[in-house]
Amino acid sequence: MADRVDVGIVGCGGIFQWAHLQKGYVYIPEARITALVDVNEKTLADAERTLKKAYEKRIAELKEAGDTDTAALFADDLKRIRTYNDMAKMLDEAEPAAVDVCTMPDSHMPIAVKALNAGCHVMCEKPMARTWIDTLPLLDAVRKSGKHFQQNENWIWQPGWYSMRKVVDGGMIGDVIAAYLSAAHGGPEGKAAFWDPFKQGGGAMPDMAIHALTTAWFVVGFEKKPVAIQAAAPVGVARRFRKRIVAGGFRDIEAEDDSHFMVRYEDPDSLRWATTMIEGSWSYRDAPDTMVVGSAGTAAFGKDEEGHEYIEVKGANDSRRIPVSGPTWEEYPAGGYYGEIRDFVRGVREGRAPMVDAGVGSEAQAVVGAAFMSQANGMRPVEMREFKDHARQLMEEHGDKASDVLIEEGLLGLR
């Protein structure tokens, strides 16, 4: 296969091994993993074993299906993959066309900047960086390099949200007025690093709310821009389950484990607007069922007796069910990791920019910051420009420490 995209993986833990590798790369022959990088020797060795097993399994499946050409490609790839503890050495020796950043959020920005400066395209796990302040050097590197940057958001590539976007684009519910979207579970109590707000930029907000707010934005349309954010009653942004078993013992959590906030989006050209209600939680779900409300009806997910998912579109006097599916008439492995990685790789080949680019990633972090600010100010609405002006003031006063100060302010404002 001509024009395959060589990819270097930086950060070889769970998100790479479980998601990007086994649900993405093994189905995408356009991508060729050439190098694995991790500072932890055990993690690197585990990743190398997992990669070998995953590709050997896929090679067997391809041979059984009669696709011997792709099987041969992957078999050859396995002989050539190199491992590194040092990213700079990997960039110099392996010379990948693209880098996939799968580390903790506190290292996203410096790793991505280094890769962009080396002439690589970059896709990076969410969030783009710990804070909006930390996204600014990355935005600058993207502009100067002319390379692609994608913030990975696997939700928008899942069949359900793909189908919901088609319902909206097709005008089935009229103009979108509001969307309710929740990303919630009981918390990553077995992962101590997730509870360090200075590694994450917070807790449930950068981990879970970022899924919901980016996907809701996709549904209402990226042409609309976030203009105002308000922490929403009764929960707001809070520490709810304040004592957790983390790292082997009960601890008082520092980061927020729940967040409920509203975002107002406006199209700067048409002045059309929509509001989204977002829940991002490590304390289980409180929000209403997911729903998109339009001027002519509503759209919500459902399942039939056989477990098939559909979108129920209700108007004033009728309703219909739209089947949920990925792209029709083609293989589309379950989950959004395949979609996001395939689109990024094909975009590199075709010179087509990512949909969830550096601008979207940066604005999403500004929304998170403004939600923290709203909570700290009695849950009053905060305009994006107000938050950004405050963040720039912190940069003038605190220099390189400004991002840490912004995180501290958010923690002090929690309920």
Contact 103, 10 (CB under 8 A): yes
Q: Say whether pLDDT at 25 is over 70.
A: yes
Please state whether the peptide bond connecting residue 127 to the residue before it is cis, i.e. omega within 30 degrees of 0: yes
With 0-12 CB in 10 A as exposed, 13-18 as middle and 19+ as buried, what is 187? buried
Lowest average pLDDT, out of 141-145, 195-199, 328-332, goes to 328-332
Is position 363 within any domain? Answer: no
Do 203 and 297 lie in one domain? The reply is yes
CATH of the domain at 113: 3.40.50.720
The confidence score (pLDDT) of residue 329 equals 79
Let me know if residue 302 belongs to a domain.
Answer: yes
Residue 289 located in a structural domain: yes
- 232-256 burial string, b = 16+ CB within 10 Å, else e? beebbbbbbeeebebeeeeeebebb
Q: What is the mean pLDDT of residues 85-93?
A: 97
DSSP class of residue 284? -
Backbone Cα Rg of the chain: 22
Last residue of a domain, one of 270, 304, 323: 323
Is 103 a member of any domain?
A: yes
Q: Are residues 208 and 89 part of one domain? A: no
Residue 295 to residue 263: CA distance in whole angstroms: 18
Cα–Cα distance for residue pair 372/229, rounded to 1 Å: 9
Cα-based angle 208, 42, 100 (whole degrees, multiple of 5): 45
- Look-up: residue for tokens 């989006």? 265
Q: How confident is the model over 348-385, as pLDDT tens digits?
A: 999 999 999 999 999 999 999 999 999 999 999 999 99
CA-angle at 105, arms to 104 and 108, nearest 5°: 100
The sign one gets for the Cα dihedral 377, 380, 386, 392 is positive
Q: Is 80 helix (H, G, I), strand (E, B) or coil?
A: helix
Q: Is residue 392 part of a domain?
A: no
Give phi and psi for 140, each to the nearest 5: -65, -40
pLDDT number for residue 282 = 97
Residues 6+ apart with CB under 8 A from 49: none
Which pLDDT score, from 0 to 100, does residue 334 have? 66
State the amino acid at position 287 in one-letter form: A
Are 31 and 139 within one domain? Answer: yes
Distance in angstroms (rounded) separating the CA atoms of residues 327 and 163:
9
SS3 state at 221: coil
Dihedral in degrees, nearest 10, Cα atoms 254, 282, 105, 404 = -30
- Grade residue 335 by pLDDT with cuts at 50, 70 and 90: confident
Q: Is residue 306 part of a domain?
A: yes
Average pLDDT in the chain: 96
Residues 51 and 168 in one domain: no
pLDDT value, residue 346: 96
Element (H, E) at 167: helix 159-169
- 173 & 71 share domain: no
Q: What is the pLDDT of residues 45-54, one digit of tens each?
A: 999 999 999 9
Same domain, yes or no, for 119 and 180? no
Task: Report whether pLDDT(332) > 70.
Answer: yes
* Phi and psi angles of residue 248, each rounded to the nearest 5 degrees, phi first: 95, 0
Are 247 and 174 within one domain? yes
Residues 220, 72 share a domain: no
Query: In the predicted model, is pLDDT for residue 252 greater than 70?
Result: yes
Question: Residue 321: which H helix or E strand, with range?
Answer: strand 319-323
Q: Which amino acid is at 17?
A: Q
Do residues 267 and 184 both lie within one domain? yes
Q: Is residue 404 part of a domain?
A: no
Residue 267 reports pLDDT greater than 90: yes
Total domains in the fold of the chain: 2
pLDDT of residue 173: 97
Q: Using a pLDDT cut of 90, give the percent of the chain over it.
A: 94
CB 263 within 8 A of CB 213: yes
Question: Residue 229 sits in a domain of what CATH number?
Answer: 3.30.360.10
Give the pLDDT mean for 157-174.
96
pLDDT digits (tens, 9 = 90+) for 195-231: 999 999 999 999 999 999 999 999 999 999 999 999 9
Task: Give the pLDDT score at 406.
Answer: 97
pTM for the model? 0.95
Statement: residue 5 has pLDDT above 90: yes
Structural domain range at position 311:
155-323
Same domain, 115 and 225: no
Question: For 6-22, what is each residue's pLDDT tens digit?
Answer: 999 999 999 999 999 99
The pLDDT of residue 274 is 97
Q: Is 291 helix (H, G, I), strand (E, B) or coil?
A: strand
**pLDDT for 328:** 84
User: Is the domain of 301 the same as that of 161?
Assistant: yes
Tokens of 385: 């420009």
Based on the fold, state whether residues 149 and 189 are members of the same structural domain.
no
Beta strands in 94-242 (DSSP E): 98-101, 121-124, 149-151, 176-184, 225-231, 237-238
- Asked, for residue 369, whether it belongs to a domain, the answer is no
Cα angle, residue 40 at apex, residues 57 and 281 outer, rounded to 5°: 80
